[in-house]
Amino acid sequence: MLDYRNKLLNLAPRAFIVFPFPPLLSSVSYSSSVGQTDQETVNDILPRISALMKKPNWEQNSLLKSLVSHMSPGTASKIIERHSNDIELGVRFFKWVCRQSTYCYDLDSRILLLNLMVSSSLLRISHKAIIVLMKECCNSETEILKLMGALDDMRKTGFCLTYPCYSSLLISLAKLGMGLLAFFVYKRMVGDGFVPGIIDYRTIINALCKNGSMQAAETFFCRMLKLGFGLDSHTCTSLVLGNCRVKDLQGAFRVFEIMSKGDGYGPNSVTYSILIHGLCQMGKLEEAFCLKEKMSKKGCQPSTRTYTVLLKALCDVGLTNKALSLFNEMVTKECKPNVHTYTILIDGFCREGKTEEANGLFREMLKDGLFPGTVTYNVLINGYCKHGHIVSAFELLSVMERRRCRPNIRTYNELMEGLCRVGRSYKAMYLLRRVIDCGLMPDIVTYNILIDGFCREGQLEMAYNIFKSMNSFGLEPDVFSFTAYIDGLCKQGKPEQASSTLGLMIKKGISPDEVTFTALIDGYCKIGEIGTASVFFEKMVKKRSLTTSHTLNSFLDVLTKDNKVRKGQAMIGKMLKYGLFPSVVTYTILVNGLCQAGEATGGLRMLELMKRASCLPNVYTYTVVMNGLCQSGRVEEAEKLLFSMRNLGISPNHITYTVLVKAHVNAGNLDRAFEILSTMVRNGCQPNTRIYSALISGFSELHMAVTTSSNCSIDSSRLLPSNENDSNCTSTNVFREMDTELAFKIEDKVNKCGGSAIDLYNVLVTGLCKEGKIAEAAHLTKDIMRRGLFPEKAVYSIIQHYCKEHQYEHCLDFMQVILNHGFVPSASCYCSVIHGLHSVGRVQQAQELVSDLVKYNGIEENTEVLPFIEFLVEKEQPEQCLEILKLVEQVHYRERPII
């Protein structure tokens, strides 16, 4: 068409993105010879195809489909040439053969076919074919640019576009918001002697407004008025859109007011929806809803687009319940939601962890006869993966494939990230093989997920292999890749290796960001090398990468842990020097340091200082102070602090209550400990494993003390676990000596407080299993299942114990008992047993369990999802992961055939 490169480069680059033009069509080579036939064969099939095309419904003819299945563009061009007198038939065949022939399915081949038609002087058919291609390319900037480059080459041979071609091209560019190119096409159109009509001016204005080029749009608008074209709602709505795009709501409402006063070009539902969207983007939700009500009063009913915009705004701020009410209003007013509407709601619920509600909406969408696209499936898969429902995510993948909705690389990235979240990074590597088998190519996100996943699991060697191999895959590591690996090294106490990786990163021209430096500094601080950490800090300051207090918090944390509280306090002055303000985390670290040094009173003073500095303490700050008070024996003061924080609107969490419960248990005040438990439940905070562990210990110790008539005091040293970081631990002696009949007495007290019997039994059974008292553990678990409760962690502990001892008969019997009581063991339980059965050669029983896993999880299409389930339960073989990397590397180097 014209040389757009120079035009684009000569204009200001701020408003537009310049896309590189594709190589000229003549430079496109076709290496595959699949479907090529010699001249004699071509001459033989041409009459046969032509005869079949004369029959009614020839597009459905199976023989014709077979003949063109590998037809080259050259042969297709000759067939069109044979029907040059029938323009409609020629265009129909052009559209049809591009869909049917696997050879010329992509855009390059279609352009080649178009070139051949032009060279054969099939101009009328070619012009109509160009319009077809323009409509097909209206969803991709890359494709429309490639087509325009090809048309530019054809122009050099004397081929010219017609007015309908120009008009269609303007519409396609407007849909993509490519206002600058629309302007160039207009200039060429006028230069070729065509007179643009009102539709063309509307289209150009719309294109310019979509990318925010308001000055150019207004210029065209004035030109349109000078030519005698009147105002219309389409043009005015475009101007409203343009002003909203540049966040000029005042300008948008000025145009809106003009439209409201006009006759025959008043605002329509599109205009209102655009304004509502503009208000939502500026965070003015209340005004947006007011405009919706005003819209209805003016007799312009909100459209699907209007509701969808408002639903997204509500979901973005976490108001999913209000979004659901608005959705119900939408349905009540017979405004049919579309796939995009459902997808926004599903995404909102998934982000809040409400996967059941999201799944319900998904099923409702299917009932409404709507067909979800890849984006919808990806959103729901991401929701499942984020909350550990991996089996459900893979079941959805099977549904997706069954409905012929092809997964893309993002689908698999979501699944890989889900597997990495639950510590199954090796499984994510196996999934990479499936990506290749499906004809997809992994991207930088894929590798970053794998690197980060292996680093989090401490598998640095595997992470390094993936990191190192990215170059051979045709990808370059980015800042995230390096930072993830550096952070992994630092967390394993290897900051020197991390420092070397930083050097490689800088050598490759990738600038480390604040997260990278913070990971390194934290790594050196953790091993006590404050001096080296300070060197990196100075580099960070020099590069002006210091924007938050997180980095200085790393220094502060190590200083306070070394009881250097005074130096820690001096760190706040350093923060102020660099223009940073201490965060609530900063103060909490200082408070913790004071409390650990036995200065709980200083921690209380720090709380008051925070309030004066307008940095209000949070629940963690208060909990740290309360813990310090309890360690100093000042439990009553800690309780007073609990009530004062509630008065300030700060809700205690399970850690806060755990501190108080354990303090009372240590002091032998079990009745008060249970009272705290009752308060905790009333305030909507469920007790955790540590609380139940402390209560079990205290109750058991008291019972043993009374039974032996020794004394009523409790040995507090036996109550606290040796490792405070172990959430499942409690006094080993307690479970070793505990009478399981006490479980029912403890349960009675817990029930009176409103606690969870299931959580209690999870702690009890896990402790008994650790002591090898598996018979008592199984007895307690069966008893609670008979009462209609299912302690999932307890069940998992028993099954793990059976598998560890290779007692698979007991394990299978126990799983059958679970099923008989109406419950289903978790996928993790099934995986453990299946792996165990495989390891002892009982393959048939393992396969039966795989079928049971599918059957009892309510999966409808067993045969469709079975391969995914088998993949999940298959025993991991880390040594095969390197083979998968080699496979991917080979695929990168191997040229793919066109299929």
Check whether residue 31 and residue 150 sit in a common domain. Answer: yes
697 within a domain of the structure (yes/no):
no
Query: Which of these three, 128, 159, 190, is where a domain ends?
Result: 159
- Cα distance between residue 330 and residue 308, in whole Å: 9
891 CB neighbour count, 10 Å cutoff:
16
Residue 107: which domain range? 1-159
Query: For residue 274, what is the enclosing H or E element?
Result: helix 269-281
Check whether residue 482 and residue 560 sit in a common domain. Answer: no
Run means of pLDDT, 10 residues per run, the chain, 899 residues: 40 33 33 41 73 82 79 81 81 80 68 85 88 87 90 90 93 91 91 91 92 89 88 90 92 90 82 93 92 88 93 92 93 92 94 90 91 94 89 87 88 94 87 82 91 92 88 84 94 92 91 91 88 86 80 80 70 76 86 87 88 87 92 90 83 89 88 89 84 83 58 36 39 67 83 87 88 89 90 92 91 92 86 85 85 70 61 65 65 41
587 within a domain of the structure (yes/no):
yes
42 within a domain of the structure (yes/no):
yes
Report which of 497, 422, 487 is spatially closest to residue 448, judged by C-alpha positions. Answer: 487
The first and second tokens of residue 27, run together, are 């430079």
Record the pTM: 0.73
Q: 3-class DSSP state for residue 356? A: helix
Let me know if 222 is exposed, middle or buried by CB neighbors in 10 A (0-12, 13-18, 19+). exposed
23 within a domain of the structure (yes/no):
yes
Q: 3-class DSSP state for residue 614? A: coil
Check whether residue 502 and residue 611 sit in a common domain. Answer: no
CA 541 vs CA 23, 536, 548, 549, 731: distances in Å: 45, 9, 11, 12, 48
Query: Which of these three, 644, 665, 687, is where a domain ends?
Result: 644
- Cα distance between residue 61 and residue 54, in whole Å: 11
- Cα distance between residue 660 and residue 662, in whole Å: 5
427 within a domain of the structure (yes/no):
no
Query: Which of these three, 644, 662, 679, is where a domain ends?
Result: 644
The first and second tokens of residue 771, run together, are 């002591």
Report which of 223, 225, 215, 219 is spatially closest to residue 248, judged by C-alpha positions. Answer: 215
Check whether residue 525 and residue 553 sit in a common domain. Answer: no
DSSP letter at 317 equals T
Report which of 384, 309, 317 is spatially closest to residue 346, judged by C-alpha positions. Answer: 384
Check whether residue 530 and residue 605 sit in a common domain. Answer: no
DSSP letter at 586 equals H
693 within a domain of the structure (yes/no):
no
Alpha-helical regions (H) of 457-549: 460-469, 479-491, 495-507, 514-526, 530-542
Check whether residue 540 and residue 553 sit in a common domain. Answer: no
We report the CATH number of the domain holding residue 627 as 1.25.40.10
Residue for token pair 């795009």: 245
Check whether residue 499 and residue 624 sit in a common domain. Answer: no
Can you spell out the DSSP letters for 855-875? HHTT-S-HHHHHHHHHHHHSP
Burial state string for 22-47 with b = 16 or more CB within 10 A and e = fewer than 16: beebeeeeeeeeebeeeeeebeeebe
Q: What is the pLDDT of residue 879?
A: 62
Check whether residue 636 and residue 487 sit in a common domain. Answer: no
379 within a domain of the structure (yes/no):
no
Residue for token pair 């071609």: 165
- Cα distance between residue 730 and residue 722, in whole Å: 8
Check whether residue 4 and residue 149 sit in a common domain. Answer: yes
- Cα distance between residue 885 and residue 882, in whole Å: 5
Check whether residue 513 and residue 609 sit in a common domain. Answer: no
- Cα distance between residue 894 and residue 899, in whole Å: 15
Q: What is the pLDDT of residue 883?
A: 66
Main-chain dihedrals φ then ψ at residue 443, nearest 5 degrees: -115, -175
604 within a domain of the structure (yes/no):
yes
Let me know if 528 is exposed, middle or buried by CB neighbors in 10 A (0-12, 13-18, 19+). exposed
The first and second tokens of residue 425, run together, are 């990074």
Check whether residue 578 and residue 626 sit in a common domain. Answer: yes
Q: How many domains does the chain have?
A: 3
- Cα distance between residue 140 and residue 801, in whole Å: 56
- Cα distance between residue 404 and residue 838, in whole Å: 34
Q: 3-class DSSP state for residue 442? A: coil
Check whether residue 42 and residue 132 sit in a common domain. Answer: yes
CB 589 within 8 A of CB 569: no
